[in-house]
């Protein structure tokens, strides 16, 4: 059975450049032509941030929510940035790698010795630069599922309820395990509280990915969902905070325009996060 692939199309600079060379050709028609040639279910948005909100310039089905895969990690990153900028955590804080938080392969951090101390900065770097699932699940555990769910609203997701409870990469994989009869189908029938209980039981023990038969096409069973316009704010926000942590103020920012950035000089040693409250 052929399953249509789901994709969100980001408008590349080459499209804008081609349109600029021929001013008589509308950008919309050029983009529509490219999108029409793609397979599967498509949606796109080209926007700019005005007064803190995305303004759609060009798009088609810009509010259509599709499975976005690892793009959801931007919301985890945004939550961590907010925690650092508010002075609640430091980028140099350390978390110890745990075997029960190893994400599905391939994961570089999953091959590191368990118990290794890793800074939050390194976890974020690996999560974003190589989409490391082990780094992702450690940050999700540390920050807390509900904390990130709340941050999704702040970061512009129009309907974050479609992602509640927010799945870890481990949970998403296990819910789509064909050997276990696709637990995600039962999970879908539950309310929010029952889902959280279901996940708590699903998470018990150290994962054995070799024993899984992951259904790569079951996007509708367990995933992370967003529309192009939902992702308009997280993307530029992430680029805006891409610079190194300010060593004097501990602010994760590249300009003073980022709100909620504390300016208290650093003091005291880095803390080691040996454990964190169980996500629920």
Query: How do residues 177-218 score in pLDDT, each as one tens digit?
Result: 999 999 999 999 999 999 999 999 987 789 999 999 999 999
Q: Please check the confidence at residue 165 and state whether its pLDDT lies above 80.
A: yes
Q: At 241, is the secondary structure helix, strand, or coil?
A: coil
- Confidence band for 235, pLDDT divided at 50, 70 and 90: low
For residue 270, count other CB atoms closer than 10 A to its CB: 14
Q: Please check the confidence at residue 129 and state whether its pLDDT lies above 90.
A: yes
Residue 278 within any structural domain of the chain: no
Residue 43 within any structural domain of the chain: yes
Domain that includes residue 50, residue range: 1-64
| Mean pLDDT (whole number) for 90-97 | 97
- Confidence band for 150, pLDDT divided at 50, 70 and 90: very high
For residue 36, count other CB atoms closer than 10 A to its CB: 9
Final residue before a domain boundary, out of 17, 46, 64 = 64
Q: Report if pTM > 0.95.
A: no
Q: Please check the confidence at residue 268 and state whether its pLDDT lies above 70.
A: no
Share of the chain above pLDDT 90, in %: 57
Alpha-carbon distance values, 80 to 14, 152, 178, 248, 264 (Å): 32, 12, 34, 19, 18
- Confidence band for 250, pLDDT divided at 50, 70 and 90: low
From the number of C-beta atoms within 10 Å of its C-beta (0-12, 13-18, 19+), residue 115 rates as: exposed
Residues 6+ apart with CB under 8 A from 55: 47, 48, 49
pLDDT tens-digit map of 5-56: 333 343 333 444 444 445 435 777 787 788 778 888 888 888 888 887 888 8
Kindly state whether residues 100 and 143 are assigned to the same domain: yes
Kindly state whether residues 165 and 26 are assigned to the same domain: no
Kindly state whether residues 19 and 34 are assigned to the same domain: yes
Q: Across the beta sheet with 41-50, what order do the strands follow?
A: 6-9, 41-50, 53-60
What pLDDT is stored for residue 55 in this prediction?
87
Residue 160 within any structural domain of the chain: yes
Buried b (16+ CB within 10 A) or exposed e, 171-187: bbbbbbbeeeebbbeeb
Final residue before a domain boundary, out of 49, 64, 79 = 64
Rounded to the nearest integer, the mean pLDDT of the chain is 80
Q: The CATH number of the domain where 193 resides is what?
A: 3.40.710
Q: Is the dihedral of CA 16, 22, 27, 31 positive or negative?
A: negative
Alpha-carbon distance values, 91 to 4, 43, 83, 118, 244 (Å): 40, 35, 9, 10, 10
Kindly state whether residues 122 and 19 are assigned to the same domain: no
Cis peptide before 74 (omega within 30 of 0): no
Kindly state whether residues 147 and 94 are assigned to the same domain: yes
Share of the chain above pLDDT 70, in %: 75
Residues in the chain: 280
Q: Which helix (H) or strand (E) holds 185?
A: helix 183-188
Structural domain total, the chain: 2
Q: Please check the confidence at residue 117 and state whether its pLDDT lies above 90.
A: yes
Quote the DSSP letter at residue 25: S
Kindly state whether residues 50 and 77 are assigned to the same domain: no
Residue pair 225/172 in contact by the 8 Å Cβ criterion: no
What pLDDT is stored for residue 13 in this prediction?
37
Kindly state whether residues 186 and 119 are assigned to the same domain: yes
Q: How far apart are the two ends of the chain, measured CA to CA in Å?
A: 36
Kindly state whether residues 31 and 102 are assigned to the same domain: no
């Amino acid at each position: 059975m052929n399953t249509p692939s789901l994709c969100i199309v980001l408008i590349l600079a080459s499209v804008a450049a081609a349109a600029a060379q021929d001013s008589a050709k509308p950008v919309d028609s050029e983009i529509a032509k490219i999108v029409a040639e793609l397979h599967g279910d498509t949606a796109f948005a080209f926007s700019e941030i005005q007064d803190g909100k995305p303004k759609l310039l060009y798009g088609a089905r810009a509010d259509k929510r599709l499975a976005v895969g690892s793009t959801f990690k931007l919301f985890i990153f945004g939550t961590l940035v907010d925690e650092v900028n508010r002075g609640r955590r430091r980028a140099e804080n350390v978390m110890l790698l745990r075997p029960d938080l190893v994400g599905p392969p391939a994961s570089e951090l999953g091959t590191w010795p368990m118990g290794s101390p890793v800074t939050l900065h390194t976890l974020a770097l690996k999560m974003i630069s190589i989409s490391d699932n082990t780094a992702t699940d450690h940050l999700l555990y540390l920050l807390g599922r509900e904390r990130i769910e709340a941050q999704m609203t702040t970061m512009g997701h129009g309907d974050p309820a479609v992602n509640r409870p927010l799945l870890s990469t481990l949970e998403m994989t296990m819910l789509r395990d064909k050997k276990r009869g696709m637990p995600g189908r039962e999970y879908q029938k539950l309310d929010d509280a029952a889902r959280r209980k279901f996940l708590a039981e699903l998470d018990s023990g150290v994962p054995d990915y070799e024993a899984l038969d992951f259904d790569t096409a079951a996007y509708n069973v367990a995933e992370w969902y967003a529309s192009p316009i939902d992702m308009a704010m997280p993307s530029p926000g992430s680029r805006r905070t891409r610079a190194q942590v300010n060593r004097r103020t501990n602010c994760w920012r590249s300009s003073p325009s980022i709100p909620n950035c504390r300016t208290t000089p650093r003091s005291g040693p880095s803390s080691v996060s040996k454990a964190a409250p169980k996500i629920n």
